[in-house]
Structure 1
């Protein structure tokens, strides 16, 4: 069971941006390092992605505090018309840890936001107690640099009228259902009304497109191998049994191969596979929480 500090979303200011977050506490005395949840970026995605996980985490009896922020451009945070990068998002979370949480955290990171965790570790290694990676990206996407000109060109196209029209289509139920079924979930039955309604509500503000376009432009696709290799904290990589790549590159990579790449590069890593595909905290919530049960007692 849990209690929420307030029924109202809380806010802080960073670089003149208004940033939203929630804090959750167990009904008993908190124990273990607090969790800092890092939500995925995509059409309609925000901190609301983690609601099923939070309920299940406390239902299974865990006592860690949970901090659940919205990244700039998502949810209830400000949505400036700027290209976001992992460096920028890591700076936001650095401020959040240092000024709001004020103690070391366990990062729980969904999918291709792993580069944000890597950049954050570079900034405040002493404030990272460990990391849980949920379906991290195909290794080939974060082990080689993508030309800056390609990223900038993609951003300019997406931020044009074309991008505006594309986003209007991308937030329709038809597109969201098809994309979720083909790319995110192992079982189409799990693409339910709660998921689709949350995405449509999250994408109702057209300004939410800028964070999505930053992701699609590939600013997160760089060679992170050297930075990953110096992460001297425990890391748990949780991979879906039918994990797939959301990009054409790496589509043939199997879950076992991806997991092996991460375990080979991360100095203190362990890995596990569970049922599901790419959005494990939502599709396979109970299994995901169980997989990290021992780890969060750091």
Structure 2
């Protein structure tokens, strides 16, 4: 069911998937979609559909971040804390109960920022990181000057021309096969249609440009080390990185690097590359469900 709320004068969209028998007794999942050309809460539709098809008990909240999907799209630069503040408001005014936060890819900085904001409210009981970026990208700050230079370039007519090309089906198909999916055959019509539709509104370019400018590239090492909630790190067996380093990082190495920082971390490899909830939906759901069951059995969240 699609609904809306208002945050800082902006109209923001979200979907709610209910499980009537369990809504009052289980922790909801709060999904955090990735940022990219045409991406929005629709990224999670395959996951949500199969989750409900299997009658799993957790209700799901699936919001559109500001600048994406059906939420308002102001022409501004977006930082992780901006989206974290939006989600904090959403948690405190709409959800109003503790959740398990499921975050895709390089939106982990938003999740880290949200956990920091939620230290007093305690509305996050656990985290699931789907294909988090190489830890180096989360612990080495990018130059603010470089970030602003890139933003100014993207914000210029050159950037607008680039976005027109980047939302073409040819580019979306090529990029998805080269950077996102382990199996090229999984780059299907459903995926490409979703991206094309999501990128039709040119205002969606500003969230994408904010990501490409690197505003999320900050040193989050201390914040990650302070995440006391149980955290599952899920990495694809064919995971790749957007880091410019020439060193090849194996999935187990990425998992272990995170587990060294996370106080209550655990890791798991599943099939796929960088968009696990879409490419490896069944395995992803099994991992999420099993993680939740372990939390319940250990009485961590009850």
Partner of 2:9: 16
- Count of residue pairs brought into register by the alignment: 291
Within 2, Cα distance between the matches of 1:295 and 1:27?
22
Partner of 1:53: 47
Alignment of 1:246-257 (within 5 A): 246-249=242-245, 252-257=248-253
The question of 1:66 aligning with 2:54 is answered no
Partner of 2:123: 127
Rate the CA distance shift 1:79–1:250 in 2: closer, same or farther, 3 A: farther
For structure 1, the 5+ residue unaligned runs are: 1-5
The question of 1:289 aligning with 2:285 is answered yes
Within 2, Cα distance between the matches of 1:85 and 1:252?
29
Q: Deviations over 1:172-204 (max 9, x none)?
A: 111000000000000000000000000000000
Contact 1:106 1:132 in 2 (8 A): yes
For structure 2, the 5+ residue unaligned runs are: 296-302
Partner of 1:33: 27
Within 2, Cα distance between the matches of 1:192 and 1:65?
28
Partner of 1:217: 213
TM-score, normalization: structure 2? 0.94
Alignment of 1:272-287 (within 5 A): 272-287=268-283
Alignment of 1:54-133 (within 5 A): 54-125=48-119, 126-133=122-129
Contact 1:141 1:250 in 2 (8 A): no
Q: CA deviation at 1:59?
A: 2.6
After the TM superposition, which segments of 4 or more aligned residues of structure 1 sit over 6 Å from their partners?
none
Q: CA deviation at 1:27?
A: 4.6
Worse overlay, 248-257 or 159-168: 248-257
Q: CA deviation at 1:253?
A: 1.8
**Aligned-pair Cα RMSD in Å:** 1.1
Worse overlay, 23-32 or 172-181: 23-32
Partner of 1:174: 170
Q: Deviations over 1:205-241 (max 9, x none)?
A: 0000000000000011111100000110000011000
Of 36, 44, 48, 1:42 maps to 36
Rate the CA distance shift 1:250–1:92 in 2: closer, same or farther, 3 A: farther
